[in-house]
Amino acid sequence: MNHVYALSEVVGTSDKSIEDAIDQAINVAGQSIRNLDWFQVSEMRGHIKDGRVAHYQVALKLGFRYEAKPA
């Protein structure tokens, strides 16, 4: 089946890990956007405090399917 997708750009944050930042972004976006199908990491960055990683930020592109009306 063919699909039409749209993109939404979001930034997930976490003080635990990059993976947790991705999960946070997808979980929160999924509460507002239906039919999330895929993600692409477009940027990663973080905050350093006292020589250690204190916070992660991951920018994502989220792909979601448009719903087709029945013919």
Give the Cα separation of 17 and 44 in Å (integer): 11
* Domains located in the chain, CATH noted: 5-65 (3.30.1660.10)
* Band of pLDDT at residue 2, cut at 50, 70 and 90: confident
Q: How much is the pTM?
A: 0.86
Each residue's pLDDT tens digit, 20-65? 999 999 999 999 999 999 999 999 999 999 999 999 999 999 999 9
Give the Cα separation of 14 and 5 in Å (integer): 28
Quick one: residue 68, left, alpha or beta (phi over 0 = left, psi -120 to 50 = alpha)?
Answer: beta
DSSP run (H or E) holding 27: helix 18-29
